[in-house]
């Protein structure tokens, strides 16, 4: 039986509302700061690669060559968006379009040696920025923050994968 907004369980409790208000505010501030600085690293490499390019190159490096549809699915975005975002990466030689090894008619996107070099340069710069931002943190705090941020991003991804209008309220 579908639920109405009045019937659905409120996931917040009175005791959590202050904490959840702080969380949503800090996430909003983080998103703004991340966009303002692009968390692009330090030095000359700072802000030299936009977020879309970084995420696409990183995914191709982690998962290997793949087609546009597979890349879009793995990133949770539309194929037309991937096509548009990959075009300048191909034009600048960071990504290569190659024939699929089993089906020569299909096109596969692959990180080029130049793309890998550029990605490593940006990763190194971003790694340095993260080290600077967390320099006074204990190693355990970094680990905890990474684990919680990964968990939070996973929950966001799962939430975005649910079609609009779908009831996500746990069964009682």
Assign residue 65 the CATH number of its domain.
Answer: 1.10.10.10
Which pLDDT score, from 0 to 100, does residue 8 have?
A: 45
Q: Do the domain assignments include residue 82? A: yes
This prediction's pTM: 0.72
Q: How far apart are CA 112 and CA 116, in angstroms?
A: 6
Residue 76 domain-assigned (yes or no): yes
Q: How many domains does the chain have?
A: 1
Inside any domain, residue 71: yes
Residue 47, domain member (yes or no) = yes
**Residue range(s) defining the domain that contains residue 81:** 39-127
Q: What is the DSSP letter of 14?
A: T
67-71: long-range pairs with CB below 8 Å, 24+: 67/100, 67/106, 67/107, 67/108, 67/109, 68/107, 68/109, 71/109
Among 92, 31, 100, CA closest to 56: 92
Q: Is residue 50 part of a domain?
A: yes
Q: Is residue 90 part of a domain?
A: yes
Per-residue pLDDT of the chain (172 residues; tens, 9 = 90+): 444 444 444 555 656 888 999 999 999 998 888 777 665 656 665 657 888 899 999 999 999 999 999 999 999 889 999 999 999 999 999 999 988 777 777 889 999 999 999 999 988 888 888 899 999 999 999 999 999 999 999 998 888 877 666 666 656 5
Q: Does residue 51 lie within any of the structural domains?
A: yes
Q: Quote the strand ranges of 67-172, DSSP E.
A: 95-99, 107-111
Tell me, what's the pLDDT at 22?
Answer: 93
């Amino acid at each position: 039986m579908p639920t109405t907004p009045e019937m659905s369980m409120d996931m917040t409790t009175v005791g959590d509302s202050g904490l959840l208000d702080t969380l949503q505010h800090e996430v909003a501030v983080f998103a703004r700061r991340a966009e303002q600085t692009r968390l692009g690293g330090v030095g000359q490499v700072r802000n030299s690669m936009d977020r879309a390019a970084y995420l696409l190159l990183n995914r191709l490096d982690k998962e290997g060559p793949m087609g546009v549809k597979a890349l879009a699915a793995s990133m949770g975005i539309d194929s037309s968006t991937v096509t548009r975002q990959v075009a300048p990466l191909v034009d600048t030689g960071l990504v290569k379009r190659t024939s699929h090894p089993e089906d020569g008619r299909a096109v596969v996107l692959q990180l080029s040696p130049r793309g890998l070099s550029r990605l490593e340069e940006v990763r190194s710069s971003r790694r340095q920025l993260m080290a600077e931002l967390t320099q006074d943190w204990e190693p355990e705090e970094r680990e905890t923050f990474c684990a919680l941020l990964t968990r939070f991003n996973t929950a966001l991804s799962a939430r975005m994968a649910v079609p609009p209008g779908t009831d996500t309220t746990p069964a009682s």
